[in-house]
Amino acid sequence: MITLEKIFPNPEKIVNPGDSDIGVIIDCKNNESESKHSELEYYLLDLTIKNLINVGFNNIISFEDRDDIDLAVNTLEQQGCKQAMLVHAGCMANKDTKDIIPELEHITAYLEEDTVLRQYVVFDVEKYSYFQLRGKFLNNVKKEIRNFPTPELGLVYLYPCPDDVSFWDSIVDGEVPNFSKIMDDTYSAKYTLDYIDSFT
């Protein structure tokens, strides 16, 4: 299995810089999960960075404080990025994701009925304005959003809820998760493990 370390988010430091027009911002907010690992999100940040680099992404940046997203976007703009994808620590991408992003319009996210799912958002950097991250995700820009389902973008994100946090505890421990303990989202758990297997 993979070995993960705590990576501390920094909205002014670009990981794996390159000349790509696409940047990735990783939201490393503390989910206050019931994980046995303190600061679980820092381990998940390491996992997401490893995955993104493996599937060809450059210009990866992360933040923890909600007020730092503007700083992260500005850092990518200074790097010359035209588009950005915002994901959460623990999110995984496949090799198709980077090819699909240029086809997506400002602002693209996953809408289900009248709710923006807290999964990802793709946006044009120069058109960026304030995004509501607390409470109802992206509620302030919901009328502008183009719907694109998360799986079609090649992304999976297993939220560390109480029913599924044992999956992440096992990953951090370097062990294969016991799927019989996963009660909420076995789809995302399976594909997360497949993505990890592809680069370990």
CA dist 66 and 133 (Å) reads: 7
Q: Residue 198: its pLDDT value, please? A: 87
Helix (H/G/I), strand (E/B), else coil: 126: helix
Residues listed for the chain:
200
The predicted model scores a pTM of: 0.95
pLDDT digits (tens, 9 = 90+) for 19-73: 999 999 999 998 888 889 989 999 999 999 999 999 999 999 999 998 899 999 9
What's the maximum distance between 2 C-alpha atoms anywhere in the chain? 46
Query: Where are the alpha helices (H) located in the chain, listed in sequence order?
Result: 40-54, 69-79, 97-100, 165-172, 186-197
Q: Sketch the domain layout of the chain as residue ranges.
A: 22-197
**pLDDT 10s digits, 135-149:** 889 999 999 999 999
pLDDT at 17: 98
Reported CATH class of domain 22-197: alpha beta
- pLDDT tens for residues 153-169? 999 999 998 888 999 99
